[in-house]
Amino acid sequence: MKKSLVIIMMLMLLSGCIEDNIIDDILMAEAEGYDYIGNNQVIGTITTPNYAQGGVSGSGGGGLPATASMMSSATTVTYDGRSLAENLQPKGQKKIKVGKLRIMLFNEALLKHGFEKTIHFRNQDPEVGRDMYLAMVDGSTKDLLTATYQTAIPISRYVYDLIFQNQQQNFPKNNLSTFLYSYYGRYADPMMPIIKREKDHIVLTGIMFFKHDKYAGRINGQQKAFIFKTLVENFKFGFYDYTFQQNEHAVLENVSSSRQYVVKNGNSATPDIFATIRITGYVRQGSPLLKTKDYNSTIKRGMEKDLEKQIKKMVAGFQKSGIDPIELGQIVRSYTRHFDGASWSDRYPNARFHVKTKINIVETGVSQPR
């Protein structure tokens, strides 16, 4: 008994050499930004939130200086695909750790150049979580990350919350996990949201699409995002603005939207894809001219037609540029026995996409229209 105790103590003494990460003695990078400057070089920016800045509550005027790390952002020039944390270490007075990374931002140039190395590096790294957001920045990421905004919360949380909130609504769900799903997935292409700095605000402006790891197009605005979202997922909180005549709008608030695909002739040269989209919603911002009867006949039908038109246009655009963010290839594969994957990329642009939307307006507000 005594002997084993001695052995345990000795072993414990022997083993006291694991590197520690005491939370107030490390710099936690929460946002990374990459700006491509040509020739495989990037400007990398990281930000770390400065928690001790606002004075320490409870220290009661003891006059003690906070020992928490202070750096808030740093920038360096490096080659594409290199770990920013390691590279910026000379600028940090404490260890820079990426375990709590929440957003990764890229500028358009880098995405046009292709960012395979960066994303591959992320996938390899066990330290980073899979629920962080990737986004493209219109303009410079460094600019966006280091600017001052109306809100005082750290920039990383600001952007994170912005994307999170909007993905609950019109924008499709997208984080590192789903990105990697379609990035490495065989018949699918990834996408990511676009953000932009407007003076002291950050705005979510649209969605960009990849062809494998390269920029291949974008859509702007909530309207388009809604249309896109109906195709890729079932969701609950969105809104669609329908202009039924000049300057007359009806806004459909989504209660639920579901999609269903059926595929025929999956292995032929022109596969047929039938999509059915069912939307249940209510109209809150209708025109005073409209009556309940109108909603159920003309407006509803008009909206369905409009949506179908928009969707077809969008899908045709995707097919033309050969990108597949809706993962139609994946859908065709799952409906086809012995799916011919090799020729899919040639057949995809020729696929016939049919869509049918069914809108159900459940209510139109609490006041009776005139």
Partner 1 sequence: MFWNKRKNQEMKQDESAAPKTMTDLLLRLKDHPDFSHYRHSRGSFQCWISFFNSLVNVESVHRDVLPFLYDEHVHSLSDIQERIPVEKVEQTTDLKTVQSKLMEGSIIIQEREDSPKCLIVPTVLRESRQVEPPEVETSVFGPKESFVEALDTNISLMRKHIPIPQFTIEQMRIGKISNTRVCIAYIDGVASKENVNTVRQRLQDLELDHLTDTSALSQLVADNSHSPFPQFIDTERPDRTVNALYEGKVAVLVDGSPNALMLPTTIIEFFIAFDDYFISWYIATFTRLLRLFAVAFSVFSSPMYVAVLTYHYQLIPIDLLGSLITSRSVVPFSPMAEALVLELMIELLREAGARLPTKVGQTIGIVGGIVIGTASVQAGLTSNVLLILIGMSALAAFTTPSYRMGTTIRFIRFPFILAAQLWGMLGIALCFAYFVSHLLKQTSLGRPYIEPIYPLRLTDLRDSFIRLPNTSQPERPMLLRPEDAGRFNKKRAKQKVGKQKTDIDE
Partner 2 sequence: MKQFRINETHQVSPVYALFIIKGMQVGVSVFSFQRIVSRDSEQDAWIPVMVMGLSTLVIMWIMLRLLKNEQAYGMPDLFAMHRRFFGPWIGNLFSAVIIAYEFCIVIIFMRAYIELLQMWVFPRLPVLSFTAIFCLIVWYIVMGGFRTITGTFLLSFIYLLPLFLVNSFSVTEAHFNNLLPLFDHSPAELARSFIKLSPCYLGFESLLFFYPFLKRPQQAEKWCYYGLLTSLSVYVTTTVLGTVYFSQGELQTLIWPLLDFWKSIHFPLFDRFEYIGIVYWLTVLIPNISMGVWIVSRGIKQSAPVIKQKYALVPVLLLLILICVVMKERSQIDWLNTTVSRVGLCIIYIYIPFLLFWQWILKKKEGMTHEKELSHHHDADAAQRLHRR
264: amino acid identity, one letter: K
Q: Where are the alpha helices (DSSP H) in the chain?
A: 2-14, 84-88, 108-113, 116-124, 141-146, 155-168, 176-184, 221-232, 292-294, 300-321, 328-335, 344-347
Binding site for partner 1 (CB under 8 A): 1, 12, 15-16, 18, 20-24, 26, 28, 30, 49, 51-52, 54, 56-60, 62, 64-68, 97, 99-100, 102, 127, 129, 157
The site that binds partner 2 (CB under 8 A) totals a number of residues, namely 33
In the shown chain, the binding pattern of residues 299 to 338 toward partner 2, with x for contact by CB under 8 A and - for none, equals -------------------------------xx--xxxxx
Q: Which is nearer to partner 2, 11 or 64 (CB)?
A: 11
Q: Which residues ranging from 121 to 150 are in contact with partner 2 (CB under 8 A)?
A: 123, 126, 129-131
Strands 352-363 and 272-283: parallel
CB of 59 to partner 1, least distance (A): 5
How many Cα neighbours within 13 Å face the side chain of 304? Answer: 18
* Shortest Å, Cβ 324 to partner 2: 13
Q: Is 268 among the residues that bind partner 2 (CB under 8 A)?
A: no
Q: What are phi and psi of 44, to 5 degrees?
A: -105, 135
- Residue in 247, 244, 355 with CA at minimum distance from that of residue 310: 355
Q: Which does 60 bind (CB under 5 to 8 A by kind): partner 1, partner 2, none?
A: partner 1
Quick check: 111 and 218 in contact, CB under 8 A? no
Give the nearest distance from C-beta 186 to partner 1 in angstroms: 31
- Which lies closer to partner 1 via its Cβ, residue 58 or residue 288? 58
CA 187 to CA 328: how far, in whole Å?
8
196: nearest Cα among 118, 134, 148, 143: 143
**One character per residue 75-104, x = contact with partner 2 (rule: CB under 8 A):** ------------------------------
**Which one, 67 or 268, has the nearer CB to partner 1?**
67
Nearer to partner 2, 16 or 65 (CB): 16
Distance CA 222, CA 206 (A): 7
Between 20 and 60, CB nearer to partner 2: 20
Closest-CA residue to 344 (of 239, 291, 268, 253): 268
Binding site residues, partner 2, CB under 8 A: 4, 7-8, 11-12, 14-15, 17-19, 123, 126, 129-131, 177-178, 180-186, 188, 330-331, 334-339
